[in-house]
Amino acid sequence: MAPVSARDRGRELSPLSAPCQSAGAPRGQATNVLRLAADGRIAGVVGLAQAKGTCKRSPAATFADMDKRDFLRTVGCAATAALCGDVSGGSDATTPLPMTADFWQQLRARYRLPEGRIDLEQGYYSRMANDVLEALVGHLRAVNVDAAFYMRTRQMDDKRRSRELLAELAGCGADELIITRNTTESLDTVIASFDWRAGDEAVMAKQDYGAMLDMFAQQQRRYDIENRLVSLPVNPTTDAELVDLYANAITAKTRLLMICHLVNITGQILPVRKIVDMAHAKGVPVLVDGAHAFAQLDFRIPELGCDYYGASLHKWLGCPLGAGILYVKKERLKGMWPLFGDPCPDQFIDKLNHTGTHPAATDLAIVDAIRVHREIGSVRKEERLRWLQKYWTTKVRELPRVRMFTPKDPLRTCAIATVGIDGVTPKELAKQLLDRHRIFTVAIDSADAGVHGVRVTPHLYTTTEELDAFVAAITAIAQG
């Protein structure tokens, strides 16, 4: 598999390269709740909908057991329906908005941004669009009105709709995907689900995310397994070079291979499908860390062929903090141990999702974030993010003392890139950028991974003027 979707090969990487498309459904607006109620458009006067093949958990009561007039008097549930639409049924058919000359400026206006500071650290948490933020606040207020009544009678229907829309976005079935709190929870759930035995082996890279490396280290201490680590080259010449790197680390004792889809500290995109096919030929399942790939790259999870995939939704989908996904192939579910006890049958993915009471407003806002993502368009989003990264990296890559820790090949990267300056520690570089130039980045200093610089992550609302200021700052610091 190519580092990015084959549909993107040969496409000019420019900020305005996506063709004009017809406008989609209008963005959410304040709606008269009483009119919605009178029209019968408030969702929820139904029993708890259950997706085919998933574990059923019945609430103490359902809307089917209620008097409809009593329900319509409940302003909170009406407000929730007004703010997030009919989240219990129907398809969100939002299509990309038409491309215009000022498209990106208009998009920037949909975000509240800090004054007096250039924010180039979107990788940790990408802020929500204003309409998603306002919807989240509305969900919080509405759920607070009905409190336990909402949680016991409506919550699961609404969460299931969010899950269905996420599965649609991921290209998989809703019975293969659950909503988690973040990538760490998703991947650690898989790592901990194995019946590890002394002598078992797991393969991963030194450039993988620290929380997952910590989880494997814990399994090593607890079960006496062996973790075999490879080191990814910054500028691989071919996909085969990366496939062979992992292949050479796999032995007859290997029980799990973990790889990044997009490496968080370098921005490198791996040829996931080719690595997966190699591992499967050796009988090894593959766990993919998609924290930075989901909603940044245009792809569908089943295209990758992997067995497990975890991602965060607060990074590139623009959801509130506390939302992630875990995908598991149906044939891999049996035998997986949940982190928390659950009565759900072994073959259902719901068994992995028993984490206690969760903020319902966060789950509701996922629907709003998906709507914004679809209005932008996933292909156009990926192209713009890659273009922004190349805009600044091509200007600094050849400067004296400047070192890039991100591949030069544009199809092996997207938004994220890491840059360092010889003689300046990453911590000092980040400090100078913030104190002297009011540019916020994050220091990456890992001897094991061989990365020493600041990670720079623009977003769709980042302007070329902001990137020009960053280039000028790096040039000035490099010149001493």
pLDDT at 59: 36
Record the pTM. Answer: 0.82
- Percentage with pLDDT > 70 across the chain: 81
- pLDDT tens-place string over residues 270-313: 999 999 999 999 999 999 999 999 999 999 999 999 999 999 99
pLDDT > 50? residue 32: no
Query: Cα angle at 182 between 178 and 183, to 5 degrees?
Result: 90
Whole-angstrom Cα distance, residue 212 to residue 237? 27
Pick the residue with more confidence: 320 or 38?
Answer: 320
| C-alpha separations of 172 from 193, 322, 345 in Å | 21, 22, 21
pLDDT > 50? residue 23: no
* Sequence ranges of the domains in the chain: 379-478
pLDDT band at 101 (very low <50, low <70, confident <90, very high): confident
pLDDT at 93: 56
pLDDT at 10: 31
- pLDDT tens-place string over residues 332-351: 999 999 988 889 899 999 99
**395 close to 471: Cβ distance less than 8 angstroms:** yes
Pick the residue with more confidence: 234 or 53?
Answer: 234
pLDDT at 217: 98
Whole-angstrom Cα distance, residue 291 to residue 297? 11
Whole-angstrom Cα distance, residue 124 to residue 223? 32
Provide mean pLDDT across the span 143-152. 97
- pLDDT tens-place string over residues 346-367: 999 999 998 889 899 999 999 9
Q: To the nearest 5 percent, what fractions of the chain are helix, strand and coil? A: 40, 15, 45
Average pLDDT in the chain:
85
Which residues pair with residue 442 across a beta bridge?
Answer: 455
Which residues pair with residue 269 across a beta bridge?
Answer: 262
For the chain, give the longest Cα–Cα distance.
Answer: 74
Spatial CB neighbours of 189, under 8 Å, sequence gap ≥ 6:
180, 310, 326, 338, 339, 352
pLDDT at 55: 55
pLDDT at 38: 29
pLDDT > 50? residue 28: no
pLDDT > 70? residue 87: no
Q: How many other CB atoms are there within 10 angstroms of residue 21's CB atom?
A: 13
Provide mean pLDDT across the span 218-230. 98
Helices assigned H by DSSP within 154-257: 155-170, 183-193, 210-223, 239-247
Provide mean pLDDT across the span 378-399. 97
pLDDT at 268: 98
Whole-angstrom Cα distance, residue 125 to residue 163? 21
pLDDT > 80? residue 3: no
pLDDT > 50? residue 37: no
Which residues pair with residue 297 across a beta bridge?
Answer: 294
pLDDT at 301: 98
pLDDT at 195: 96
DSSP code per residue over 274-313: HHHHHHHHTT--EEEE-TTTBTTB---HHHH--SEEEEET
Provide mean pLDDT across the span 408-437. 98
pLDDT > 70? residue 383: yes
User: Which CATH number describes the domain made up of 379-478?
Assistant: 3.90.1150.10
